[in-house]
Amino acid sequence: MIDKRLKKRELKAVDFFCGAGGVSCGFSQIGIKVLGGIDIDPKFKRTYEENNKAIFINEDVSNLEPRELANLLPLKRKDDDLIFVGCSPCQYYSNIKSDKKKSEGSRLLLEDFKDFVVYYKPGFVFIENVPGLETKAGSPLSRFKKSLKEMGYCFTQNTLNAKYFGVPQNRRRFILIATRLLDNITLPPQKQDKSSIITVKQAIGDYEKFPQVVNGYKDNSILQHSVARLSDLNLERMRSTPINGGNRFSWKNNKRLQLECYKNHDGHSDVYGRLYWDRPAPTITTRFIYTSTGRYSHPEQNRGLSLREGATLQSFPLDYHFYSTNQGVIATMIGNAVPPKLAEAIGSTLKNHWKKWLNL
């Protein structure tokens, strides 16, 4: 039987920087009521609302006054049954070499999120980001943690790998959870036994669920098993790449196939590589539909990953539909998301701590 006290209370969440809704999806799966998501990009609105049945607030958190949020969502200050989620854009602190000027504007979004935490003082706080948030110079993390302490929160942090939480992908993320309701809070343990790790074969190897398709295939069904079209030369490179984990070194001596930038460079061995059937996928980025950006070629078919395969490797349910006619936009929605299964694990931990506080 459900305790009468639990019937009267409900654990709720607000998903800041929600994107396409990875955290909201994971939280909803375990019974946490998501009040709404906030994101600056209007392209996420329909995908977020249709899948999560929650309000999408198209606002720039940097320009939104904390008190104004209560006019948009049913919020009250010092709500013990409330979680604030802050998974801010992370490209600036990523270890991936890229032009940081494009992402410089997002480097202090954690400071903006902190303003909402200070104003509302929710029962719980959860942030997710790249591991570099903890180590890179200029990170606002230390100031964020100082504010948590000053407000009476206890917190814990660690870098977790999503592959230990039911996500068929190697994805290391910095996680911090905090509460002001208890004297101690703990992250979920990483189940590091091999039997708990889901491989690419287990995730997308069922050809009844993921039919064999060809390069450039367009799928307008709910499955969205669409594949980006490769150039003739890249398709020939793929045909020359051994199945199940092969890489570009197999055609490095072919003058027509070899790229100028790799003639005297043995690094970046994953570029143009095929996924291994018996391992988790590499980190699914916003560019996973392009074979030239990493190990994103299908293990045995001569094509890149489909949109649905990428979403499945991110642990989205098969019926989670991404609304856009542009494959690149959908790939960005998928690659930027927090894997729902990872969010589910964090949400379950927060829920258990909440129940402990309620003495259930």
Catalytic positions are: 90
212 alpha-carbon distance from chain centroid: 26
β-pairing verdict for 33-39 and 12-16: parallel
Please state, in angstroms and rounded to a whole number, the distance separating the CA atoms of residues 354 and 360: 9
Q: Could you tell me if residue 359 is left (phi over 0), alpha (psi between -120 and 50 degrees) or otherwise beta? A: left
Measured CA to CA in angstroms, residue 250 lies from 294, 299, 355 at distances of 16, 15, 55
Closest CA to 309 of 241, 173, 213: 213
Tokens of residue 250, six digits: 């197999």
Q: Which two tokens stand for residue 220?
A: 């307008």
Give 37's strand partners: 15, 56
Is residue 348 within 8 A of residue 186, CB to CB? The reply is no
* Separation between Cα atoms, residue 178 and residue 160, nearest integer Å: 16
Are 29 and 344 within 8 A, CB to CB? yes
